Structure 1
Amino acid sequence: MFGADKGTADRLDGKDLYIGIVQARFNESITNALAEACKAELAALGVQDKRIDHVRVPGALEVPVALQALAEKDQYDALIALGCIIRGETYHFELVANESGAGVSRVALDYQLPVANAILTTENLEQAIARQTDKGRDAARVAVEMANLLDELS
């Protein structure tokens, strides 16, 4: 099996990586906490602050187009999508969740670039608060691990 001898811990070394982060401002208290946890974990994994570009967009629907613009620069080893969509009383939640998720996946596939999707989709604010720190950290770990894995596979 290809890469079987390399463990996950080896793939969590971010010292040589360039990472792009796109953060939605909508539900900003949650997305700021996601970004803080994500950047702290990237630092813990060895990603230098000067190798992280962090941009903000209005909401989750705008995240994919900013990810695409970063991907087109061809300078990142991985990208991270941060956002928070909380269910309301209308169909808008499903539209935003589905379309932002599809857009994030499309960027990853079109550019063969890892994109860690940490756009939370929750029923309420309490669920979002409960997930904001762990999901921010998870996104950093996914980005670093997948960047290193794709490097191995190329």
Structure 2
Amino acid sequence: MFGADKGTAASDRLNGKKLNIGIVQARFNADITDALAKACKTELLALGVSDKDIDHVTVPGALEVPVALQAMAEKGKYDALIALGCIIRGETYHFELVANESGAGVTRISLDYQLPVANAILTTENMEQAIARQTEKGRDAAQVAVEMANLLESI
């Protein structure tokens, strides 16, 4: 079991060897999402996930991410999935719609398929906030995916 009370080392929780990971990246705000993807894949490799065990697809925008995640989940070959995107607030209600619906869709895939989905779809007020978060959140998504895949395997 995981947790500090069981004495499980972080290295055990973050061992990506033997894991198959699927990544869905939105192309909208590509400068940000490309940086997210680069940081995410670099971290997955550092955690021991083999390059051949990482499948990476792109979709037009954040609203399309959940349907691609669902298609990957239905394949039954992934230990965890990762959602990458960037939604920057504009002057209309569209920001809330896209942020809320993409977030709900990502969560639903995780719950419906009992499959970890690390949600790194950034929702920011401006481009500066997105740039400030792109590398850290890409790395975080990789770590969450690996840790949760290992956790669910142990339950």
User: TM-score, normalization: structure 2?
Assistant: 0.96
Query: Residue 41 of structure 1 aligns with which residue?
Result: 43
Residue of structure 1 equivalent to 2:150: 148
RMSD: 0.7
Quote how far apart the aligned CAs of 1:120 are. 0.1
Q: 11, 14, 24: which one pairs with 1:12?
A: 14
* Distance in 2 (alpha carbons) for counterparts of 1:18 and 1:43: 12
Give the equivalent residue in structure 1 for 2:123. Answer: 121
1:63 paired residue number: 65
Runs (4+) off by over 4 Å: none
Q: How far apart, CA to CA, are the structure 2 residues paired with 1:82 and 1:144?
A: 15
Task: Name the TM-score, length of structure 1 as normaliser.
Answer: 0.97
In the alignment, structure 2 segments of 5+ residues that lack a partner are none
Report the Cα distance in structure 2 between the residues aligned to 1:9 and 1:46, rounded to whole angstroms.
Answer: 11
Counting aligned pairs with the same residue, the percent is 79
- Which residue number corresponds to residue 24 of structure 2? 22
Equivalent AA in structure 2 for residue 98 of structure 1: N
Structure 2 Cα separation of the partners of residues 132 and 121 of structure 1:
11
Residue ranges of structure 1 left out of the alignment (5+ in a row): none
Q: Per-residue deviation at 1:126?
A: 0.2
Per-residue CA distance 1:45-70 (angstroms, 9 max, x = gap): 00000000000000000000000000
Query: What is the identity, as a one-letter code, of the residue corresponding to 2:15?
Result: D
Aligned residues: 152
